[in-house]
Amino acid sequence: MSDEHVALESLLVAFEETDPLRTRVHRVLSALPCEVQSDFIDDPRFYIRPLTRKSSCETLLAFPAPDGSVSRCVVLKKRLATCSLAFGLYVIAHELAHAYLRNGPWQQFADPEEAADALAASWGFDKPASWF
Ligand SMILES: [Zn+2]
């Protein structure tokens, strides 16, 4: 395995090896530009995990760093593993775009939702015309 592959795997430790959602998240992560991958991999307070009934995101949040930056948590619903591939990959990319943008704007898109959609589209994950 390449170093980059190992690094991406490190973002997926919250997923069971056999979790189909893990495969989809890995597919999206692999398609991201290097600087975006690095932004996630180099941030010890960034993580992705499946939504489970037992735990809530808050229980896992890391403390803010001395510079005031906060942890970024992407929580993905299990349904994203069973919905259509295009829609699942789009939602995963959209959520990762929010994390990369710290829920902020991007280029001419002031609205965080539009910004996340536009950035995800720039990565190759357009919003599907149909969700199913
Ligand atoms: Zn959104």
Query: What residue numbers bound the domain in which 11 lies?
Result: 3-122
How far apart are the CA of 76 and the centre of ligand 1, in A?
12
Q: What percent of the chain has pLDDT above 70?
A: 80
CA distances from 10 to 14, 34, 129 (A): 9, 15, 33
Q: Write down the pTM of the prediction.
A: 0.86
Establish if 127 belongs to a structural domain.
Answer: no
> For residue 51, is it left (φ>0), alpha (ψ between -120 and 50) or beta?
beta
Q: What is the pLDDT of residue 105?
A: 96
pLDDT range class, residue 96, cuts 50, 70, 90: very high
- Residue 23 domain-assigned (yes or no): yes
Measured in angstroms, how far is the CA atom of residue 95 from the centroid of ligand 1? 6
Instruction: Give 17-37 pLDDT, tens digit per residue.
Output: 999 999 999 999 999 999 999
Expressed in angstroms and rounded, the spacing between residue 2 Cα and the centre of ligand 1 is: 32
Residue 65 pLDDT more than 70? no
* 129 falls within a domain: no
Tally of domains in the chain: 1
Pairing of strands 46-50, 72-76: parallel
pLDDT number for residue 87? 94
Note the pLDDT tens digit of each residue in 39-55: 999 998 898 999 876 65
d(CA 68, CA 94): 25
Q: How far is the CA of 93 from the centre of ligand 1 (A)?
A: 10
In a domain, 132, yes or no: no
The mean pLDDT of the chain is 87
Residue 128 lies in a domain: no
**pLDDT surpasses 50 at 58:** no
- Residue 131 in any domain: the answer is no
